[in-house]
Amino acid sequence: MPDWYVDENKWRSARYGMDAILITGSDGEEELVSDTVAQMVEQLMPVAEELGGVRELVAIQTTLDAGASYQRQLAAVSAAGGANQAAVKLMQAEGRAGRPLSPTEVLSTASTIHPSTLPASHRHRFASA
């Protein structure tokens, strides 16, 4: 594979995160990064079992299934009508749980986000029109 493919894949990954489409072969074939990572997890599992690294690969698969942290945070903010505090609540809940959580699950069980809990610079989003 040409060196520039590697550079291009790095750029795509940095720019698009888990939605990046990577160049996977010298013929220019492309694949979604999450599909590539899932295949790698599957291929590496036998080696991980021998070396005692299964937990780490399971954590990668869990992230693939739940979405990356930034994806969950964006979903939480969107579900909360743009309130950035929702991302904070999600991260706090995930820290307590020790695992990724569904943003909708966290927000449905969390107390309602009230404008007074937000920084003053963000309260304008809730002002009456």
Helix or strand (DSSP H, E) at 38: helix 33-51
Please report the pLDDT score of residue 129 as a whole number.
Answer: 41
Task: Specify the amino acid at residue 86.
Answer: A
pLDDT tens, position by position, 67-116: 999 999 999 999 999 999 999 999 999 999 999 999 988 888 655 555 56
pTM summary value:
0.72
Listed by start position, the domains of the chain span 33-66, 68-111
Please report the pLDDT score of residue 105 as a whole number.
Answer: 82
Burial bucket for residue 106 (CB in 10 Å: 0-12, 13-18, 19+): buried
Please report the pLDDT score of residue 26 as a whole number.
Answer: 87
7, 45, 102 from 19: Cα distances, Å:
17, 24, 19
pLDDT tens, position by position, 52-70: 999 999 999 999 999 999 9
